[in-house]
């Protein structure tokens, strides 16, 4: 792949965005990401995905130069839907996806980060949706995901002004899980990923599925949770986890 690299470390697929200088999300990069998700999903050795950017930024946003070739409303809708499809896939991906954000996550870069299940940020990182500065709006899910994390009032402020917030503010606002000094970002995010990678892949997949219903009605979510609980409870991993607890030892999950 031209813009993405990855390596496996103790069950964690460490995925790097490498499109200097700003890791702009060109359409080709988004297509590569979709292809890589398929590869990782089929790889049973991968338990968790850790996504970060090489160089100065996580991602400074979409490739604005590509926008100049979009001339019709239908083409603009297609551009938006292409990004939405891949980012929706990340949000429902059956393996946990963690974003480690440094430098800046702006526009499409923040929309990508918000589609991940967990976000660790550098304290001085900048996170924002500046699309209105270009006379457009967020198109890769930003208007829908941001309010779920920070509330509609704060989301409106961020989107209307286009002004970014810091990594520390992102944690305070509920947009990120943890803010750390930049030099500690990858080590701490990787430590978290490895901790999660020790859990049962079956139960992780079920938990991700159930969490998708948190944005639906409570009744639908509770029903989905019970269904997934029943599925997981019959797995070999569940039997192993329960038995290991009784025997006061670490479980050895097989992914079955």
Among 32, 123, 131, 169, the active-site one is: 131
> Cα separation of 233 and 63, whole Å?
45
Q: Which residues contact 124 (CB under 8 A, 6 or more apart)?
A: 166, 167, 182
- Is 54 annotated as catalytic? no
- Is 78 annotated as catalytic? no
How distant is the alpha carbon of residue 211 from its chain centre? 14
Task: Compute CA distances 206 → 18, 94, 185, whole Å.
Answer: 32, 8, 28
Phi-psi region of 251 (alpha: psi -120 to 50; beta: other; left: phi over 0): beta
Q: Could you give the dihedral angle defined by the CA atoms of residues 16, 22, 28 and 34, in that order, rounded to the nearest 10 degrees? A: 40
* Residue 7 exposed, middle or buried by CB count within 10 Å (0-12, 13-18, 19+): exposed
Q: Helices marked H in 100-166 — which ranges?
A: 108-115, 142-150, 152-161
Among 39, 66, 91, 111, the active-site one is: 111
Task: Compute CA distances 150 → 51, 100, 164, 196, whole Å.
Answer: 22, 19, 13, 25
Active-site annotation, residues? 111, 131
């Amino acid at each position: 792949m031209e813009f993405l690299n990855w390596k496996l470390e103790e069950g964690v697929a460490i995925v790097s965005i490498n499109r200097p200088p700003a890791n702009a999300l060109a359409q080709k990069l988004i297509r590569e990401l979709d292809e890589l998700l398929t590869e990782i999903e089929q790889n049973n050795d991968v338990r968790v995905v850790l996504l970060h950017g090489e160089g100065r930024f996580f991602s400074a946003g979409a490739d604005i130069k590509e926008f100049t070739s979009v001339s019709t409303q239908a083409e603009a809708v297609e551009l938006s839907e292409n990004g939405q499809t891949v980012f929706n896939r990340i949000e429902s991906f059956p393996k946990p996806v963690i974003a480690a954000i440094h430098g800046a996550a702006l526009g499409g870069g923040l929309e990508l980060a918000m589609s991940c299940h967990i976000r660790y940020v550098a304290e001085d990182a900048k996170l924002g949706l500046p699309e209105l500065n270009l006379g457009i709006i967020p198109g890769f899910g930003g208007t829908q995901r941001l309010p779920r994390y920070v509330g509609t009032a704060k989301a409106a402020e961020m989107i209307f002004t286009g002004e970014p917030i810091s990594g520390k503010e992102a944690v305070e606002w509920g947009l990120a899980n943890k803010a750390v000094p930049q030099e500690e970002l990858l080590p701490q995010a990787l430590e978290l990923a490895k901790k999660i990678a020790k859990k049962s892949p079956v139960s992780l997949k079920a938990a991700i599925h159930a969490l998708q219903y948190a944005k639906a009605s409570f009744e639908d979510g509770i029903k989905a949770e019970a269904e997934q609980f029943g599925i997981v409870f019959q797995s070999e991993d569940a039997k192993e986890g329960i038995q290991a607890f009784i025997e006061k030892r670490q479980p050895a999950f097989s992914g079955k």
